[in-house]
Amino acid sequence: MKKAFFAFLCLLITATLTRAQELSQDTALFHQGDDPAWSAFAYNDNAWQKVSFNQSWEDLNVQPTNGYGWYRLHVVIPSSLKKGIVEAIMLELGAIDDSDETWINGHYVGKTGTFPEDPGGYCSEWGKKRHYIVDPKWVRWDQDNVIAVRVYNFGDPGGFYRGAIKMVKPSLKDFASLSLVAEKGGYKAVLATSVKTIGTLKTTVTDILTGTEETSKTQKIGVDSWKEKQISYALVPQKRLTVTYTDPRFEEVLKAEVCSPYILTPPAPATPRYNGPLVFGVRPGSPVIFRLAFSGEKPMKFSVEGLPEGVKLDPDKGVLSGSVAQAGDYPLTFTATNDKGSASAQFTLKVGTQIGLTPPMGWNSWNCWALSVSQERVMASAAALINAGLADYGYSYINLDDAWEAEERAADGRIEANEKFPDMKALGDWLHSNGLKFGIYSSPGDHTCGGFPGSLDHERQDAEVWNSWGVDYLKYDWCGYAKIFNASNDHSEAACMRPYLKMQQFLREQPRDIFYSLCQYGWGKAWEWGAYIDANSWRTSGDIMDTWESLYHIGFELQTDLYPYGGPGHWNDPDMLIVGKVGWSSSLRDSRLTPDEQYTHISLWSLLAGNMLIGCDLSQIDAFTFNLLCNNEVNAVNQDILGHQAHRDVVEDGIQIWSRDLYDGGTAVGIFNLNDSSVPVRLDGALAKIGLNPETARDLWRQQDIATDAEYTILPHGVLYVKVK
Ligand code: GLA
């Protein structure tokens, strides 16, 4: 057989069996003994014993049951199976006790298990279904075929007694694939195949926003076996590119689709504009670390009215530092001025017991670098947070996730950073000097998820070390603690809280505020007790991935009942963002979410008051991702000072409507289309379902007022995100 055929065979073995056609066959002919002549098609088996497939050799009184026996199955194989068969068809037999060799019409198709006379001796494979590749030329279509099965059994019961026989037809997908891959200046369609194919490639370009099909083109293409064909397309913004491939021998169609990213939000004006939160909470005496978030042309000069004693402003960077001894609300007026103009914003510095008054906004290393994180990579994202302008929208935390730790603690038990983080204190100081905050990761167990030392029995020491580095945020990940929890008989809520409570006490003893973020994957119902142990947020799910399934599950299934638990100082955390270049390794890729899924993701996190921790490498941020993350009106909903998390109001025909009340009396409403195709939605009709009847609504992504008595097309997995006053 050709090499290609063997490779194809591997492909086929992995094929699903849904295309299986059961060959109606309840009985076979059986003969004890062993004779190679019994494999021949023409062998006269008239005298053989008729047996059914549920009879073992024990049932048939075969004596002794250790030894050989043959089955001959006479089956008609319908030619309806022929359509679409290119080089092979697969024969599936039920499990055989113990080993077998099989022939079809005298052609050997394969063997499972081994026989006593084989070089390595006998080896049973009694539990396995048999899958054998058959060359279609060997099949006698619509006529009698003989499948001859030589069986060796050792020990009771033995034989071929658990089997239906099936012929499985390969599908186009088993040997050919069609994908659209981004390349410089556009996309290329790649049709790769293991067998020769001649078919039709159809390309359609549709306008994403209007749904209008703009161009459609078909072309005949042929590809030889084990070759691929590439066709390049220029990138057209705001278009959906769909390619399909049909080979007339098959029913199914190969399809690939991409939407080129499209930016809905107008660019920020060149004049200063405040985009940050309206409040910031700090405890008396704790360092104030706050960067004024103004977009607009740089350089800019900043001033602040109403600063309390102990706090000073860096007028060039717009960074507040110092501390306030006296609790109280301090109303401040921020002003930023550049060549183009000046703008002011009212703000309240709340010195009191609560921190985390709005959901944390920043960056975390996990979804991009995972275990390959390094100080250099962190600094690159932190620098981009400032230089690319994300800090101008309130992003301020730079959080190291797992893998910053040294493998071992120091002799005195101190936690140390590994060689990839040469100077944690300097990193913290640099972040603070830019008004950014420093986050770190650990586990209440003896090890973290990545296998590094956890804080178990070192809680006080670790909190002190982190304080000395200037840490402002701790993600405390259950991971290694599972061992202790599972070994104990106490699985109560108190037992879930215990390790978190312990660390909370040591964090609070430090002379700085440390945002306390619990990570327990949602199973311990942390939302019911997180606020009582003074945690500032808690994960509500397992780890997010950059797929629609993951986003759908976490966003649309797990958050529905959690709205009563989130609020200022304590937030439900639906996990980190999956836009931009992610990859959980040192090799990053663009998020696999479509542009519309990304709009949905950010809209939903905005409605959910979710932690806005960017998961991509910011040093490679593109214009589309920036547009998603830096829409001041969308972020203002996330940071709304009421902190009312959205409620899911409507679930109807794949459309979900979520809404939340805002402090200015407005309501943010997300109308999500979870269907795989576009859906036209009358905005007034949708809003009426949740008791709202305005004439206009503010489209938050486009930042423009739109009429409600109109129909809007919501793209597949996309959203219409509005604010209604
Ligand atoms: C867990 C967490 C992730 C990440 C990894 C680090 O899986 O849920 O967010 O922190 O551990 O190992």
Q: In this structure, which residue's CA is closest to atom 3 in ligand 1?
A: 543
* Distance, C-alpha 304 to centroid of its chain: 42
State if residue 450 touches ligand 1 by the CB under 6 angstroms criterion.
Answer: yes
Q: Which residues pair with 27 in a beta bridge?
A: 52
**Residue 245 to residue 226: CA distance in whole angstroms:** 17
> What CATH number should be reported for the domain whose range is 273-351?
2.60.40.10
User: Is the pLDDT score of 173 beyond 90?
Assistant: no
> What would the pLDDT profile of 446-493 be if each residue is shown by its tens digit?
999 999 999 999 999 999 999 999 999 999 999 999 999 999 999 999
573 lines ligand 1 (CB under 6 A): no
What would the two tokens of residue 539 be? Answer: 């994960």
- 449 CB under 6 A from ligand 1? yes
Q: Is the CB of 611 under 6 A from ligand 1?
A: no
Give me ligand 1 centre to Cα 638, in Å: 24
**Mean pLDDT, range 362-377, rounded to an integer:** 97
Mutation to probe ligand 1, out of 399, 443, 475, 479 (largest number of atoms < 8 A from CB): 479
> Which amino acid appears at position 177 of this protein?
S
Amino acid 3: pLDDT = 36
Q: Which of 596, 606, 609 is nearest to 678 (CA)?
A: 596
Instruction: State if residue 578 touches ligand 1 by the CB under 6 angstroms criterion.
Output: no
pTM: 0.77
Cα→Cα distances 314→280, 302, 323, 348, Å: 18, 8, 14, 18
Residue 252 pLDDT > 70, yes or no?
A: yes
**Atom 5 in ligand 1: which residue has the minimum CA distance?**
449
Whether the CB of 193 sits within 6 Å of ligand 1: no
Tell me the pLDDT tens digit for each residue of 392-429. Answer: 999 999 999 999 999 999 999 999 999 999 999 999 99
Residue 543 beta carbon below 6 angstroms from any ligand 1 atom: yes
How, if at all, do strands 227-234 and 89-93 pair? Answer: unpaired
Distance, CA 366 to ligand 1 centroid (Å)?
7
Contact criterion met (CB below 8 Å) for 697 and 670? no
- Is the pLDDT assigned to residue 12 strictly greater than 60? no
Residue 4 has pLDDT above 50, yes or no: no
How many angstroms does the Cα of residue 554 sit away from the middle of ligand 1? 15
Give the Å distance between the CA of 594 and the centre of ligand 1. Answer: 24
Q: For ligand 1, say whether the CB of 530 is within 6 Å of any of its atoms.
A: no
pLDDT band for 237, please (50, 70, 90 cuts): confident
> Phi-psi bin for 642: left (phi > 0), alpha (psi -120 to 50), beta?
alpha
Nearest atom of ligand 1 to the alpha carbon of 370: 6
DSSP state, residue 299: S
Sheet order of strands, 301-305 included: 279-282, 341-351, 328-338, 301-305
Per-residue pLDDT of 322-332, as tens digits, reads 999 999 999 99
Q: Relative to the CA of 575, which ligand 1 atom is closest?
A: 9
Contact 559, 609 (CB under 8 A): no
| Rounded distance between C-alpha atoms, residue 663 and residue 349, angstroms | 17
Rounded distance, CA 77 to CA 498, Å?
66
Average pLDDT of span 387-395? 98
Fold of 361-644: TIM Barrel (3.20.20)
Looking at the predicted structure, is the pLDDT value of residue 2 above 70?
A: no
The whole-angstrom separation of Cα 696 and Cα 667 is: 13
What mean pLDDT is reported for the chain?
92
Sheet holding 99-104, edge to edge: 49-52, 27-32, 67-76, 144-153, 99-104, 107-112
C-alpha 515 – ligand 1 centre gap (Å): 17
Strand order of the β-sheet with 361-364 is 571-573, 537-539, 515-519, 473-477, 437-442, 397-399, 361-364, 612-614
Q: Is omega for the bond preceding 299 within 30 degrees of 0, making it cis?
A: yes
Report CA(309)–ligand 1 centroid distance (Å).
Answer: 41
Determine the topology of domain 4-170 in CATH.
Jelly Rolls (2.60.120)
Superfamily of domain 176-259: Immunoglobulins (2.60.40.10)
User: Residue 235: what pLDDT?
Assistant: 74
Q: Ligand 1 within 6 A of 366 CB? A: yes
176-259 and 648-724 share one CATH topology?
A: yes
Is the shortest distance between the CB of 402 and ligand 1 below 6 Å? Answer: yes
Q: Single out the catalytic residue among 207, 314, 543, 705.
A: 543
For the chain, what is the largest distance between any 2 Cα atoms, rounded to a whole number of angstroms?
Answer: 107
- Stretch 637-652: mean pLDDT: 98
Catalytic residue among 392, 402, 462, 477: 477
Q: Whose CA is nearest to atom 11 of ligand 1?
A: 449
Q: How far is the CA of 575 from the centre of ligand 1 (A)?
A: 10
DSSP string, 607-640: HTT--EEE-S-GGG--HHHHHHH--HHHHHHHT-
- Ligand 1 atom with minimal separation from the 441 CA: 10
Just give the CATH number of 648-724.
Answer: 2.60.40.1180
Q: Are strands 239-246 and 197-207 parallel, antiparallel or unpaired?
A: antiparallel
Give yes or no: 477 in active site: yes
Q: Which atom of ligand 1 is nearest to the CA of 448?
A: 12
Q: How far is the CA of 484 from the centre of ligand 1 (A)?
A: 18
Q: Ligand 1 centroid to 648 CA: how many Å?
A: 28
Residue nearest to ligand 1 atom 1, measured at CA: 449
477 ligand 1 Cβ < 6 A = yes
Residue 1 has what pLDDT? 33
> Annotated catalytic, 534?
no
Q: Is 405 in the pocket of ligand 1 (CB under 6 A)?
A: no
Average pLDDT of 353-366? 98
Where are the domains positioned within the chain? 4-170, 176-259, 273-351, 361-644, 648-724
> Using one digit for the tens of pLDDT, what is the confidence trace for 18-69?
455 667 677 899 999 999 999 999 999 999 999 988 889 989 989 888 999 9
